[in-house]
Structure 1
Amino acid sequence: MDRLKDERNFEEVIVNELHFVRETRRELEKLSKCVDGKRKEGNGGKEIIIRRWIDVFDRYLTRYTLWNEELAGVIGSLVQLSRASRDNYPDTSKQCFIIFRRVAECVIVKIDSLLKSGVVGAVLEKMEQSTLDDGIMWDCLYFFLNLSRRFDEKADGEMDETKRIELKRKIFEKMEEEGYEDIVASLYGVISFINLNYNELSKYLADYFVNI
């Protein structure tokens, strides 16, 4: 995929004929069953395969520009995987949140797909935990920073204003339902600390909100 990223004809083959996105979803759903529940001897190899699939999907997001309707399904599968691997395979779960941050800034992923996939709820759910790895917290905060920027910059060129307002309302209601404002406000004092190792977070709380 790296070698072919500059050849648009091959991009169409990968997206439309090889159905990379559909195959990724199928593999992730199958493999996620191996990490759901207790850690088992011999699952280390399965975890490595899962993380390789996540790495390749990350490359797809950052190098390809063709929209694919099945992307929401893959992101939904990653949401399931992040929950299934949370207790016994934390590195895999952490890798999922890195992807969530990136899909929020990736222009080929439609904003309504983020709602359909359940990723907004998964990130909010993660932020409610009393103790979090600094890297995961950075990814969660940056997820909403990216989402807010995309709405402000109107990066989703095909979205009309009515649909944009409706999506902002749905996301706002979800954030309000989960007490997101209080969560972010409680983190205000540690944002600078997190930025010592994970930079580029905004110091302005308003930048993390999708306002209507």
Structure 2
Amino acid sequence: MKEILDEMNKKEFRSTFTTYPFNKIHKMIEEKKLSMENAIVLLKHVGYYKVLLNLWNSAFHSSLLCGRFEKMIVDEDEKNKEKNENLLADLCECYAMLFNYYISSEELFFICVPCLLKVAVKKEEDEVIQKEVEIALLSLSNIREGIEIKKKKYLKKIKGIIKYHQKHHNLTHLAYQSAWNSLIIVNSFYGDLEKKVENELHFGMEATRELEELEGCVDWKRKGKDAERGIKMKDFAIVDRWLDIIEIYFEYIEICDEEHVELLRCMKRLCRAARENYINVVLRCCGIFVKMIIFQPNLIVFNVLLKGGVFDFILMEIHNQTFDDCMAGEFLIFFLNVSRKMKEKEKDETEEVKRILFDKMEEEGFEDVIASFHEMFDFLSSEYFYGLSLNVSDYYLNA
């Protein structure tokens, strides 16, 4: 079954894992045709794949198997001295990964989260332990609601895991990304992503290093059906998960230093590597660049985007005219937001500061490019934007 799961793409996964197979597994356990041990192994693979590729699947929630797992978790936790810690951890991992972003009750939350953290804080560098830690952290990264109850204690442990890895490098790529995933998403979910995430833990520098290492692990030349495969594309999936939290991060943290410039340079290189066969990566990065312009202060965001080579990359792609219509649309949206932002005035931004920035952009040749799109901006931003010709690249004739 593991081999079948490894070969599934997202569409195949959604069509396969409806409520029926979960109920079937429940029935096979009842009839003793499938041992609980084997059922857990199977369900861990299903949950692992679901969370890794960020798939939304509610089939488990309404299945009989869900009720069985909830009862088993509570019963095992109540055994005290006779408690089987390994079994409880396995049950909690399956349950947390198969659910969508939350645990259904406060009682189960207070059992599962401490149990998963207990596994996640293990520091041994043995491969078996590393895999256990990876699955525990991946499971925790799938829990986003309910953490507020014990958020401070929870996040303190997650920060400890990140700091220890930065010193000793004991986690896998996926485990480390999952720890950051929990820290960034949980903080942002409750609206208080702190600047010290950058100052203490250096998110920009860490994300850059991880993306650079993962970029070298992905076969960017893989085409067709192979490019959609799941676990065989694990490193690609981790890249996608990093982009998820980078997008959230730049909504909350003000960019201001060289670490963020290096991160943008890394994303630019990622776009160049992915543009031929993995267009979604380019679209994701362009979407992040647009959000940066929207959420960040004028002077800072344009300086960082200039230094990071983002304007260079997009302008080069426009001149090459080898992009498809989806990319063309993203490029237009990018320049549309640049134009809008340049007309705004930040609270602490003087006309002198703004003039210096515009002069710098003019020196680089970007001011003329942006101006060349002005005539079409009102039309493109109208309510008929999505009713334009499918040949969006036609709008680049004046570039």
When normalised by structure 1's length, the TM-score is 0.73
Superposed counterparts of 1:1-212, under 5 Å: 1-5=184-188, 6=190, 8=192, 11-35=194-218, 38-39=221-222, 44-62=233-251, 64-69=252-257, 70-107=259-296, 110-155=301-346, 157-175=347-365, 180=369, 184=373, 191=380, 195-196=385-386
Shift of 1:123: 1.2
Bigger relative CO (Cα 8 Å, ≥ 6 apart): 1
Specify the SS of the correspondent of 1:196.
helix
Distance 1:92 1:100 in 2: 12
Q: What value does the CA root-mean-square deviation take over the aligned residues?
A: 3.6
Distance 1:149 1:79 in 2: 23
Distance 1:120 1:131 in 2: 17
When normalised by structure 2's length, the TM-score is 0.42
- Tell whether the 8 Å contact from 2:261 to 2:308 is kept in structure 1 after alignment: yes
Distance 2:366 2:282 in 1: 25
Relative to its length, the structure with more helix (as a share) is 2
String of CA shifts for 1:128-161, please: whole Å, max 9, x gaps. 2435333322221121122222221123x44443
String of CA shifts for 1:178-210, please: whole Å, max 9, x gaps. x8379749988x958982269xxxxxx9xxxxx
Distance 2:283 2:353 in 1: 32
String of CA shifts for 1:28-85, please: whole Å, max 9, x gaps. 12222234763397862111111110111001112x1444412222111111110111
Quick one: percent identity of the two aligned structures? 30
Q: Which runs of 5+ in 2 are unaligned?
A: 1-183, 389-394
- Tell whether the 8 Å contact from 1:35 to 1:43 is kept in structure 2 after alignment: no
